[in-house]
Structure 1
Amino acid sequence: MALVVVLSNILVQFPVQGQVGRLALADLLTWGAFTYPLAFLVTDLANRRYGPSLARRVVFVGFALAVATTVVFPPLLFRLGLIPFELEPGRLVRVAIASGTAFLVGQLLDVSVFNRLRQTSWWRAPVVASIVGSIIDTAIFFTVAFAAAFAFVGPSDAFSLEAAPLLGLFEPQTARWISWALGDLSVKLIIAVVALIPYRLITARWWNQPLAA
């Protein structure tokens, strides 16, 4: 979990460069969108093998790291010349609050949903839990970090609030952060399904062992 969170909070600073038809990926995605969903895989594996109590402990470790690295890494990467911008302190605090809250709520919801479904088909608990957790995680992070309604948390980002075509392609125009949220969620949902492959391979060796209570 520590590796996933630290790596994701570094990679989130770097947009994905590329074009799919008229869709500019850099306008929607960062590389962190591809590593962060693995946190749900880690949580589900911990839950499957060791039970919800230890899974929640793993989540709390991830939460602490999510907040700490969100505050530490952007200024550090800017000073190293790896990113071209630096967030003002108030903006950095708002993003850290959004990141930590989204991680904690999304991951704890994943644990809860997984446990409700753990006696069903092997694939149902991890995929449903990851999808539900991903939706809530995305909704919380992007609204708290960017929506004008949460300006009381900290300074807003003017660029994220500007109106632009949805996903850079469609009408009507919406605030840019809504397109960012949809792009991020799309990747999370895809990875929630693809992650069933490593989940199945890793848990196969545990399959005949008793489930942790």
Structure 2
Amino acid sequence: MSTVIFGFIFIIINFTLFLAFYRLFGKMGLFTWIGIATILANIQVVKQIELFGLTATLGNTMYASAFLATDLLNEKYGKKDAQKAVWLGFSTLLIMIVVMQLAIQFTPHPEDFAQGSLETIFGLIPQIALGSLAAYIVSQMSDVYVFSFLKKHFPKDSQFWIRNNGSTMISQLIDTLVFTSIAFYGYEFHIWLQIFITTYILKWIVALLDTPFGYIAKKFPE
């Protein structure tokens, strides 16, 4: 199976699970999903893949679902709940980084087999950890404010796609710029540019594909 086809299947499964989670647990499910998505996205981002002959990082789909959850909170419950969710996601990410950095400092048992793998995944160098935290809080807060701005100018239910895609694409541009600039500082420029372009293109594609799921979720009872 090609990477592109599997990628689309991966996106559909992710957002189907998102809908199921929201349908089952309502507003609290959106808050919880943001915490889950933040952790999984930052684990997946350490894996690099090749797409259309270009280098990209994994994690974009799960990360995009966190933005959709924030937009739905803003849409159905208001700006304050959306901001609270952003801080929840930030706190979740910070706790994961701190706790796992401490966890890998324990001397493993002679028969332990997991230490090397844990160090590979969670042994974040400071600039990657800083990049994740900075990009998350700046982009998510931008998403909340841009969505609220667009909601005032495009308030109709049929215009949700404008609010959702507009806020997500602007905030994801900020996220990609901040994260790649910090996390990949010191890389050769052409490698950094390739990661930046492919990552943002993937986020555009995912943002467009998540819109139908957003409309479905909007119809769920509060």
TM-score normalised by structure 2 residue count:
0.69
Secondary structure of the corresponding residue to residue 28 of structure 1: strand
Q: Which of residues 59, 62, 80 is equivalent to 2:86? A: 59
Gaps of 5+ in 1: 149-160, 163-173
Q: CA–CA distance in 2 between the matches of 1:73 and 1:184?
A: 26
Relative distance call for 1:73 and 1:187 in structure 2 (3 A) is farther
After superposition, what is the alpha-carbon deviation per residue over 1:37-56, rounded to whole angstroms, capped at 9, x for unaligned? 11110110111111011100
Relative distance call for 1:63 and 1:15 in structure 2 (3 A) is same
Relative distance call for 1:52 and 1:196 in structure 2 (3 A) is same
Asked whether 1:189 is paired with 2:204, we answer yes
> RMSD of aligned C-alpha atoms?
2.7
Relative distance call for 1:38 and 1:19 in structure 2 (3 A) is closer
Q: Which of residues 141, 163, 180 is equivalent to 1:125? A: 163
Q: CA–CA distance in 2 between the matches of 1:94 and 1:67?
A: 14
Q: CA–CA distance in 2 between the matches of 1:184 and 1:73?
A: 26
Q: CA–CA distance in 2 between the matches of 1:143 and 1:185?
A: 13
Amino acid at match of 1:136: I
Asked whether 1:49 is paired with 2:80, we answer no
Secondary structure of the corresponding residue to residue 175 of structure 1: helix
Relative distance call for 1:19 and 1:61 in structure 2 (3 A) is closer
Matches within 5 A, 1:23-172: 23=53, 27-30=55-58, 32-70=59-97, 79-82=114-117, 85=120, 92-119=125-152, 120=154, 121-148=159-186, 161-162=187-188
Contact in 2 for aligned 1:52/1:115 (Cα 8 Å): yes
Contact in 2 for aligned 1:44/1:126 (Cα 8 Å): yes
For residue 44 of structure 2, what is the aligned residue in structure 1?
Answer: 11
Structure having the larger proportion of residues in helix: 2
Amino acid at match of 2:172: S
Relative distance call for 1:85 and 1:52 in structure 2 (3 A) is same
After superposition, what is the alpha-carbon deviation per residue over 1:3-29, rounded to whole angstroms, capped at 9, x for unaligned? 10111122222233x564xx15xx323
Identity %: 26
Amino acid at match of 2:169: I
Q: CA–CA distance in 2 between the matches of 1:134 and 1:64?
A: 20
Relative distance call for 1:7 and 1:195 in structure 2 (3 A) is same
Contact in 1 for aligned 2:43/2:121 (Cα 8 Å): no
For residue 153 of structure 1, what is the aligned residue in structure 2?
Answer: none
How big is the shift at 1:87? 8.0
For residue 190 of structure 2, what is the aligned residue in structure 1?
Answer: 175
Q: CA–CA distance in 2 between the matches of 1:202 and 1:147?
A: 38
Relative distance call for 1:73 and 1:15 in structure 2 (3 A) is farther
Gaps of 5+ in 2: 1-33, 105-112
Amino acid at match of 1:175: H
TM-score normalised by structure 1 residue count:
0.72
Q: CA–CA distance in 1 between the matches of 2:220 and 2:141?
A: 26
Q: CA–CA distance in 2 between the matches of 1:33 and 1:205?
A: 25
Relative distance call for 1:61 and 1:124 in structure 2 (3 A) is same
Secondary structure of the corresponding residue to residue 13 of structure 1: coil
Amino acid at match of 2:213: P
